[in-house]
């Protein structure tokens, strides 16, 4: 017994879906619109929706007061670099857990996941002093390493669930064919798991791109990604909504475009391999 | 060369004993078939020889060299899996060439060997296809091609035909037989189908709950099963086992007579029975009879037999074909 799909029900569902979609998207839309307003229009009560004086001067101002290209470069290098290195670590790790499990593999996986339940602020002081001692504050290596570590549990979990779907026979066939462990992972496992690896990478890049707590606290300028650019416009002297919105728009634009073009992979990634 | 020796091989999975001390000697060039009901450990034994499972204890020797601690890649064996286990992202060519690439052979050698294998297996036209574009039989051929290009010391087959339909199974059985004849390489073949075992093997290893029940040529097992287990397992239809008076009269606890070794008559004979059902296959007829204290028996008659359910028939076992077993189910002569 399924729900009967009548025309009115279909229209109702469509309207509801669009309403929910708009509700979720509204903050991004409002940020985008505000980025093109003057500061006065941004404050205006009642708020101006589409009929205001459109201007691009906020973007110029943002670039003049900061260095968009430097921070964008940092964001790209950090989120992609950290996660590529992360993959190089997590693919073998997930291989071991999926294809050579021991009695404790499940416990290990649960423990890794549990580290994600701890708020970052809980270990902030420890990490901060480690960074201080090893001169890693405001260094790309330092923050990159941290971003990689923060994502590792999720990346390994996702890869693990993808790898579990691959028939072990095929890996055994590779072993019989004389493939070493490295060759088995490079030539057989990885090509078969490409869709899973791609969606994992995509999700972890987005998570790293948007990561604000650590990037704001452990970088000051040179290694700071775009999150820093946004935060600059929310200062103790007052918040400049239009400029803040312009900075936000600039910061999220690349990842938004990336996400738009890879929706399908992303949805698969987010469902954690539950849907085969 | 490909002589494979097993000495007191054991395998436990936790507290469960899967293989309980198996010792075997498979000569170079032999076609050995491991056969037994599901769960008897035949696949595990094959995987132990392949190196895909670790031994709990015992030794495996290939050409006299102990390989118990050697990984599957270094044992020089090739395996054909039940699921074919082809690399889905590679073409047929890539699948067959993979082992040679891993062995870092020069490209010209790889090309030549792949071509030769493809020609042997009628795969030349499919070299650039992906496995998903092939039929079941073709996939199985690719899996075999992948094994033969390596020129292994021995081939291991793990129920390779069980995913194929009946007609194709018979054809592939012949092809594997031809292959063995042409290559003269040792082959170890796992199946639960005693017909496959009987038709292909030069040596059959019957396994029962992790132990070897009997080893011998197909006809040895057919003519002289060493116990009730092998007697029941080898031969189709199954051997008739009779207990009670007919057995004690012959100095045994139970006796076995194959369906083809029972004389049937409508007028006289040792056992009076009633026909339950007759299966007319044309070439022969299987008659299932009810013998009161004897239980249900099966008779096989060459050609056609004019019997119908309810008919009274008399059966007489051919005395030289009666197998006698003691109270432990062992053969007595």
Cβ contacts of B87 on chain A, cutoff 8 Å = 170, 173-174, 188, 192
Query: At A237, is the pLDDT very low, low, confident or very high (cuts 50, 70, 90)?
Result: low
- The answer to whether residues B224 and B79 belong to one domain is yes
Please state the domain count of chain B. Answer: 2
Containing structural domain, residue B246: 237-332
Domain ranges in chain A are 61-270
Rounded distance between C-alpha atoms, residue A87 and residue A83, angstroms:
6
Q: Mean pLDDT over residues A17-42, rounded?
A: 89
Give the minimum alpha-carbon distance from A175 to chain B in angstroms, rounded to a whole number.
Answer: 5
- The answer to whether residues B172 and B320 belong to one domain is no
Res A248 pLDDT > 50:
yes
Among B175, B206, B231, the domain boundary falls at B231
Q: Is B98 on the interface with A (CB under 8 A)?
A: yes
Query: At B316, is the pLDDT very low, low, confident or very high (cuts 50, 70, 90)?
Result: very high
Res A214 pLDDT > 60:
yes
Looking at the partner chain, which of A177, A180, A188 has a beta carbon nearest the beta carbon of B146?
A: A177
Question: pLDDT digit string (tens) for B278-307?
Answer: 999 989 999 999 988 888 999 999 988 888
pTM, full prediction: 0.80
Res A77 pLDDT > 90:
yes
- The answer to whether residues B34 and B155 belong to one domain is yes
Rounded distance between C-alpha atoms, residue B222 and residue A259, angstroms:
68
The shares of helix, strand and coil residues in chain A, as percent rounded to the nearest 5, are: 75, 0, 25
Res A236 pLDDT > 90:
no
Question: pLDDT digit string (tens) for A155-197?
Answer: 999 999 989 988 899 999 999 999 999 999 999 998 888 888 8
Q: Mean pLDDT over residues A49-78, rounded?
A: 85
The residue that leads in pLDDT, A45 or A174, is A174
The 3-state secondary structure of chain B reads CCCEEEEEEEEEECCEEEEEEEEEEECCCCEEEEECCCCCCHHHHHHHHHCCCCCCEEEEEECCEECCCCCHHHCCEEEECCCCCCCCCCCHHHHHHHHHHHCCCCHHHHHHHHHHHHHHCCCHHHCCCCHHHCCHHHHHHHHHHHHHCCCCCEEEEECCCCCCCHHHHHHHHHHHHHHHHHHCCEEEEEECCHHHHHHHCCEEEEEECCEEEEEECHHHHHHCCCEHHHHHHCCCCCCEEEECHHHHHCCCCEEEECHHHEEEECCCCCEEEEEEEEEECCCEEEEEEECHHHCEEEEEEECCCCCCCCCEEEEEECHHHCEEECCCCEEEC
Q: What's the confidence (pLDDT) of residue B144?
A: 92
Q: Are B150 and B100 in contact (CB under 8 A)?
A: yes
Cβ contacts of A103 on chain B, cutoff 8 Å = none
Q: What's the confidence (pLDDT) of residue A228?
A: 86
Q: Please give the distance of CA A270 from its chain centroid, rounded to a whole number.
A: 11
Q: Are A95 and A163 in contact (CB under 8 A)?
A: yes
Q: Please give the distance of CA B262 from its chain centroid, rounded to a whole number.
A: 26
Architecture of the domain whose range is A61-270: Orthogonal Bundle (1.10)
ipTM over 0.90: no
Q: What's the confidence (pLDDT) of residue A276?
A: 35
Q: Is B14 on the interface with A (CB under 8 A)?
A: no
Q: Are B255 and B325 in contact (CB under 8 A)?
A: yes
* Contact pairs from chain A to chain B, CB under 8 Å: 60
Please name the residue of chain A whose CA is at the shortest distance from the CA of residue B154.
A176
Give the minimum alpha-carbon distance from B265 to chain A in angstroms, rounded to a whole number.
Answer: 54
- The answer to whether residues B312 and B195 belong to one domain is no
Q: What are phi and psi of A155, to 5 degrees?
A: -65, -45
Question: H or E segment at A229?
Answer: helix A226-232
Among B203, B231, B259, the domain boundary falls at B231
- The answer to whether residues B82 and B214 belong to one domain is yes
Looking at the partner chain, which of A178, A183, A188 has a beta carbon nearest the beta carbon of B87?
A: A188
Q: What's the confidence (pLDDT) of residue A39?
A: 81
- The answer to whether residues B10 and B69 belong to one domain is yes
Question: In the predicted model, what is the mean pLDDT of chain B?
Answer: 92
Provide the percentage of residues in chain A whose pLDDT is more than 90. 38
Question: pLDDT digit string (tens) for B207-227?
Answer: 999 999 999 999 999 999 999
- Look-up: residue for tokens 């074909």? B321
Rounded distance between C-alpha atoms, residue A207 and residue A158, angstroms:
14
CATH number for the domain that contains residue B15: 3.40.50.300
Question: In the predicted model, what is the mean pLDDT of chain A?
Answer: 86
Q: Are B75 and B62 in contact (CB under 8 A)?
A: yes
DSSP A257-274: HHHHHTHHHHHHHHTTT-
Q: Mean pLDDT over residues B131-142, rounded?
A: 91
Q: What's the confidence (pLDDT) of residue A264?
A: 73
B72 vs A179: CB contact, 8 Å cut-off? no
Name the pairing type of β-strands B31-35 and B203-208: parallel
Among B207, B231, B255, the domain boundary falls at B231
Strands (DSSP E) contained in chain A are: 234-235, 238-239
Sign of CA dihedral B239, B243, B248, B251: positive
A179 vs B98: CB contact, 8 Å cut-off? yes
- The answer to whether residues B17 and B83 belong to one domain is yes
Rounded distance between C-alpha atoms, residue B42 and residue B24, angstroms:
13
Q: Mean pLDDT over residues A224-247, rounded?
A: 81
- Look-up: residue for tokens 């992609």? A80
The residue that leads in pLDDT, A244 or A51, is A244
Question: pLDDT digit string (tens) for B4-36?
Answer: 999 999 999 888 999 999 999 999 999 999 999
Res A128 pLDDT > 60:
yes
Q: Mean pLDDT over residues B26-49, rounded?
A: 94
Rounded distance between C-alpha atoms, residue A136 and residue A139, angstroms:
5
Query: At A3, is the pLDDT very low, low, confident or very high (cuts 50, 70, 90)?
Result: low
Looking at the partner chain, which of B78, B85, B150 has a beta carbon nearest the beta carbon of A167?
A: B85
Task: Locate B41 and state its tokens.
Answer: 């450990």
Q: Mean pLDDT over residues B241-252, rounded?
A: 90
Cβ contacts of B53 on chain A, cutoff 8 Å = none
Q: Mean pLDDT over residues A244-272, rounded?
A: 78
Question: Interior CA angle at A233 toward A235 and A32, to 5°?
Answer: 140
Query: At B66, is the pLDDT very low, low, confident or very high (cuts 50, 70, 90)?
Result: very high
- The answer to whether residues B90 and B184 belong to one domain is yes
Preceding omega of A209 cis (within 30 degrees of 0): no
């Amino acid at each position: 017994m399924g729900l009967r799909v009548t025309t009115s029900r279909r229209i109702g569902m469509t309207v509801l879906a669009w309403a929910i979609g708009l509700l979720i998207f509204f903050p991004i839309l409002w940020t985008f619109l505000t980025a093109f307003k003057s500061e006065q229009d941004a404050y205006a009560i009642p708020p101006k929706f589409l009929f205001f004086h459109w201007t691009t001067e906020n973007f110029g101002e943002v670039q003049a007061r900061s260095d968009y290209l430097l921070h964008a470069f940092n964001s790209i290098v950090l989120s992609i670099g950290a996660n590529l290195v992360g993959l190089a670590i997590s693919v073998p790790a997930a291989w071991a857990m999926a294809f050579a499990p021991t009695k404790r593999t499940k416990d290990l996986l649960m423990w890794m996941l549990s580290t994600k339940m701890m708020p970052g602020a809980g270990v902030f002081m420890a990490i901060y002093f480690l960074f201080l001692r090893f001169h890693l504050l405001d260094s790309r290596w330092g923050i990159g390493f941290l971003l990689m570590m923060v994502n590792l549990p999720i990346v390994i979990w996702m890869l693990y669930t993808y790898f579990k779907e691959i028939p072990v026979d095929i890996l055994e066939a590779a072993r019989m064919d004389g493939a070493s462990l490295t060759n088995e992972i490079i030539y057989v496992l990885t090509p078969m798991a490409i869709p899973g690896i791609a969606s994992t990478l995509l999700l972890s890049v987005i998570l790293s791109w948007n990561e604000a707590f650590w990037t704001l606290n452990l970088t000051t300028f040179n290694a700071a990604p775009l999150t820093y650019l946004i935060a600059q416009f929310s200062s103790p002297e007052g918040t400049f909504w239009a400029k803040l919105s312009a900075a936000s728009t600039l910061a999220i634009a690349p990842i938004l475009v990336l996400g738009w073009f890879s929706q399908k992979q992303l949805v698969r990634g987010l469902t954690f391999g539950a849907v085969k | 060369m490909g002589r494979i020796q097993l000495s007191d091989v054991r395998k436990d999975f936790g507290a469960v004993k899967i293989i309980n001390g198996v010792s075997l000697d498979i000569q170079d060039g032999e076609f050995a078939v491991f056969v037994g009901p599901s769960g008897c450990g035949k696949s595990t034994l094959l995987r132990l020889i392949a190196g895909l499972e670790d031994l709990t204890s015992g030794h495996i020797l290939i050409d006299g060299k102990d390989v118990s601690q050697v990984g599957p890649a270094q044992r020089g064996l090739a395996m054909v899996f039940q699921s074919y286990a082809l690399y889905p992202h590679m073409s047929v060519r890539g699948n067959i060439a993979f082992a040679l690439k891993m062995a870092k052979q020069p490209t010209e050698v790889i090309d030549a060997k792949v071509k030769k294998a493809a020609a042997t297996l009628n795969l030349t036209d499919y070299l650039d296809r992906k496995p998903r574009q092939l039929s079941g039989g073709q996939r199985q051929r690719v899996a075999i091609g992948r094994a033969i290009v390596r020129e292994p010391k021995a081939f291991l087959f793990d129920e390779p035909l069980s995913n194929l339909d009946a007609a194709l199974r018979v054809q592939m059985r012949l092809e594997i037989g031809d292959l063995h004849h042409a290559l003269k390489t040792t082959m170890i073949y796992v199946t639960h189908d005693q017909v496959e075992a009987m038709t292909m093997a030069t040596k059959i290893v019957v396994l029962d709950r992790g132990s070897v029940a009997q080893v011998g040529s197909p006809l040895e097992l057919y003519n002289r099963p060493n116990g009730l287990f092998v007697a029941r397992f080898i031969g189709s239809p199954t051997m008739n086992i009779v207990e009670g008076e007919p057995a004690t009269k012959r100095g045994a606890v139970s006796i076995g007579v194959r369906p083809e070794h029972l004389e049937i008559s409508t007028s006289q004979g040792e056992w009076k029975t009633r026909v339950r059902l007759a299966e007319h296959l044309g070439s022969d007829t299987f008659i299932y009879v009810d013998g009161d204290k004897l239980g249900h028996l099966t008779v096989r008659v060459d050609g056609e037999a004019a019997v119908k359910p309810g008919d009274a028939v008399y059966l007489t076992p051919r005395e030289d074909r009666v197998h006698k077993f003691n109270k432990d189910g062992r053969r007595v002569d």
